[in-house]
Structure formats: C-alpha cells, structure tokens
Structure 1
Amino acid sequence: MTIKCKVKSIEPLAANTYQILLHPEQPVSFKAGQYLMVVMGEADKRPFSIASSPCRHEGEIELHIGAAEHNAYAIEVVESMKQALANGGDITIDAPHGEAWIREDNQRPILLIAGGTGFSYVRSILDHCISQNIEQPIHLYWGGRDEAQLYAKKEMMEIADKHQRIQFIPVIEEALADWSGKKGNVLQAVSDDFDTLADFDIYIAGRFEMAGAAREQFTQTKQAKSDHMFGDAYAFI
C-alpha cells in the first residue's frame, strides 16, 4: 500500500551514508527484514531495507541509505528526502515488501551477514530477536571497506557484550595498523569460522553478487541449505 510520510530527520552515519527517519501518516505493518519502496514516479519505485523493527519503531520508519558519488539511484532519493525535510513536504512509500523476513518459529541458530548498508536489514532482525527474547545463538557478520563504514560498530559491540547468545564480528577490507579484528572478505570470514552451516538459518543483505556468492559457497562447501538462506536478492537471482 502507498503511504505518505513526513521526513523527520536526516543524519550522516558515515561518508555518503545517511540515517533517515520517516513519520508515516498512518501505521505501517511490516515484519523484521522487509523493505519499502520510495516512490519517485509512477513507474519509478526504489527499494530500501527498513532498519527499524516492527516491535520497537514507535510509529517511525528508519532507513540507512548509502549514496556514494557513483550511485545516482540512491543520491536522487536522498536529495528528494532533503527537499521534503526543508519545505515540509511529503514523500510517498509503498510498503511492506519482501519475503526475507525473520522466521521466528524456527529454532535453528541464526547467522546474519551484511555488506555495507545491508546492515539496515540485519539490524531490524537483530533488534526484533532481542525484543522478542528469541533464545537461539545469533552471529552477526558485518563487512565494509574500512572501519568508518561500520558506523554502528560500537553499538553492536555493546549489544554483544550485554547478550551472551549474540556474537558480533566486524570485517574490513582496508585495515589500519591498530585494527585488531578480521580483515578481508566478509564471506571468507564466515567460511573461516564455521566448519558447517547445515543447522543455520542464514539472512544476508548486500550486493546481489555477494548474495549469489554466499549461496554458492555455503551450499557447496559448508552444507548450508538453500531453503534456509534468506535475502531479498534471492527473489531476483
């Protein structure tokens, strides 16, 4: 359904990455892990994961949008949001969408994998799992180019310290000398840490090629089951 929203705030999270809070004119019902479409034109709707969780969003919808210089698709959305914020205008969303939402009834351990602003997808799922007291182990791997891209690293480390069942593993490609975490490709980091993924539900968000590589690698070398792997990309690849 299409819903008009006010833009409540736009805050930088990292270089070319923004947190946008929307206030819809009516409540939006969604599941953790779903996405919305920002309506830019009658035949131009652009998808973004919902970073807020359905149980703790207090009537607002949070987005994390990466709008690097080469990404006109996202830049145009951010500029439209900024204009709406400045003049008090509305933006229109179409929501909810997506089948990669959290399967709450499953009892399998959970593996969350994010590349860049794909973090917004796993953030919604993680927050929902915490608020609903889902008890199985949760492993969250978040990959970025450098440490600055992992804009919520401190928050995630605090959550992992507070909840024994949650592990947070940040992975960066370009590390400075004082970086003590994992380096390189986030999928390789997962492969290095698990002998098998046969028992896991896996939720993944990032570039389509990353999701495709994860399905190929993990089903072929880590005994993951493709029907236990969830990601919006899998509806298209």
Structure 2
Amino acid sequence: MSIKCEVTSVEPLACNTFRILLRPEQHIEFKAGQYLLAVMGEKDKRPFSIASSPCREGELELHIGAAEHNPYAIEVVERMKAALEDGTAIDIEAPHGEAWVREDSDKPLLLIAGGTGFSYVRSILDNCLSRGISQPIFVYWGGRDECQLYANDELMALAEQHANLTYVPVVETAPEGWQGKTGNVLEAVSDDFVSLSAYDIYICGRFEMAGAARELFSAEKGAECERMFADAFSFI
C-alpha cells in the first residue's frame, strides 16, 4: 500500500548514520520487525527496517547508514533531506516482511544485529519491553568499531533497568578500555551459548551474515531453523 509521509526530522546519529522521522498521512498497521519501501521511482523501491515499535502512534523511525560507498542509501537520505526542507511529502509502501516478532511465543529471545541492522532489533526490543514480557532477551550488536554502535549507552542503560535483558556489544576494532567483546558478533554468540535449541532468534545484517548465522547455529548449536527469523532468508 502506497502512503504519503511528511518528513519531520533528519538527524545524524554517528558514523554516517541518520535517524529519520516520518509522519504518515494515515495509520499504518505493522508488526515489530517489519520494513517499509522508500519509493524513489516507479521501479525503484528501497527497503529499510522500521526502527520504531507499533505502539508508537503516528510516527515511523528509520536508521539509515549512508557511508560514501553506499549511494543506494545516500540517495534516500538526500531525498528525505530535500523533502524536509521543501515541505514536500515522500512516498512509502508498508508494511513488508515476514520476520516480525512472534508475540504468541514464550521462548527466550536472541536478537542479533550487524551495523544499522540494529533498527530491526530496536523495533522488536521496544515492542517486547513495552509488553512487559518476562522471558530472557539477549541482544548482540556487532560493528566495525564503537562509533557504529550508536545506541550503545542507551542499551546499557536499558539492560540495567530490565532484569531479563542482557546486552552484549561486539566490535572488530576495540578502543582502550572497551567493556564489550571484540571480534565477530556470530562468534561471540557461539562462544556464549552451549545450545540455542530453546530460543527464538531474530537476525538483521548483511545477507551473508544472516546466511552464516543460520548455518552455524543450526549445525553447531541445535537452533531450530523454523525459529530463526530474518528477512534475508527470503532471498538467500
């Protein structure tokens, strides 16, 4: 469904990552973990995870990583900035995606993000915390360096506030005094869990990361393929 949106904010988060706030002209029913398509042209529609939870009425939040080598994302950010300045509407199509959080499940949750794949995890996490679920939630967020983990302090604070939430940041290059893990985020998960057979696992990052997670966790950690969710699985 095509929907016009007002762009109300475009703000830098860190490391070429932008937070964009949209106000749709009509209510959008979506599930935590779904994505929208930014309509750039009739045959040019680009997917971005919705970072906000469905419980947030009247506003959609996006986190878009727009590094210099990624014109696919930069062009969308520039379109959003122009719409904000001109007061013009942008078109989106929503909702899309099958990797939404299964609210009827009482399994513990493992949420894994690479880079701005955190926007997907953010929606699911906000949804689960707002519903007051009691099962354990583990969030693993990986990036090249600390700068990429732009919500690190916020997540650490949330973990202190919620006894059932464990947050593990993972960077490839760690600064002095780094409090998280160093290396690959999937290896960090593999090191920390003997078995993943009891978990609902939600993953967002590069397609190759999602594919590697499915292969590694099912082969070595007993994860059930039907309880692993990632939109990438529809394409790989």
Unaligned runs of 5+ in 1: none
CA distances 1:6-51 after superposition (whole Å, capped 9, x unpaired) = 1000110112100000011111110000000000000110000000
What's the TM-score once normalised by structure 1's chain length? Answer: 0.99
Deviation, 1:205, is 0.2
Number of the residue aligned with 1:43: 43
Give RMSD over aligned pairs. 0.6
Equivalents in 1 of 2:179, 2:231: separation in Å?
Answer: 32
Task: Give the share of equivalent positions with the same residue, in percent.
Answer: 67
Deviation, 1:175, is 0.6
> Structure 1 residue 171 and structure 2 residue 170: aligned?
yes
Structure 1 residue matching 2:120: 3-state secondary structure:
helix
Equivalents in 2 of 1:105, 1:9: separation in Å?
Answer: 34
Equivalents in 1 of 2:66, 2:88: separation in Å?
Answer: 21
Number of the residue aligned with 2:7: 7
Deviation, 1:189, is 0.2
Equivalents in 2 of 1:177, 1:161: separation in Å?
Answer: 23
What's the TM-score once normalised by structure 2's chain length? Answer: 0.99
Structure 2 residue matching 1:37: 3-state secondary structure:
strand
Number of the residue aligned with 1:86: 85
Unaligned runs of 5+ in 2: none
Number of the residue aligned with 1:25: 25
Structure 2 residue matching 1:104: 3-state secondary structure:
coil
Structure 2 residue matching 1:19: 3-state secondary structure:
strand
Deviation, 1:161, is 0.3
Structure 2 residue matching 1:204: 3-state secondary structure:
strand
Letter in 1 for 2:34: Q
Q: After superposition, where does 1:59-98 map in structure 2 within 5 Å?
A: 59-98=58-97
Structure 1 residue matching 2:100: 3-state secondary structure:
coil
Deviation, 1:176, is 1.3
CA distances 1:91-124 after superposition (whole Å, capped 9, x unpaired) = 1000000000000111111000000000000000
Equivalents in 2 of 1:8, 1:58: separation in Å?
Answer: 14
Equivalents in 1 of 2:121, 2:179: separation in Å?
Answer: 23
Deviation, 1:180, is 2.5
CA distances 1:65-111 after superposition (whole Å, capped 9, x unpaired) = 00111111001100100100010011100000000000011111100
CA distances 1:131-156 after superposition (whole Å, capped 9, x unpaired) = 11111100000001111110101110
Number of the residue aligned with 1:113: 112
Number of the residue aligned with 2:136: 137
Deviation, 1:58, is 2.6
Structure 2 residue matching 1:81: 3-state secondary structure:
helix
Equivalents in 1 of 2:180, 2:157: separation in Å?
Answer: 16
Number of the residue aligned with 1:58: 57
Letter in 2 for 1:174: T
* Number of corresponding residues: 236
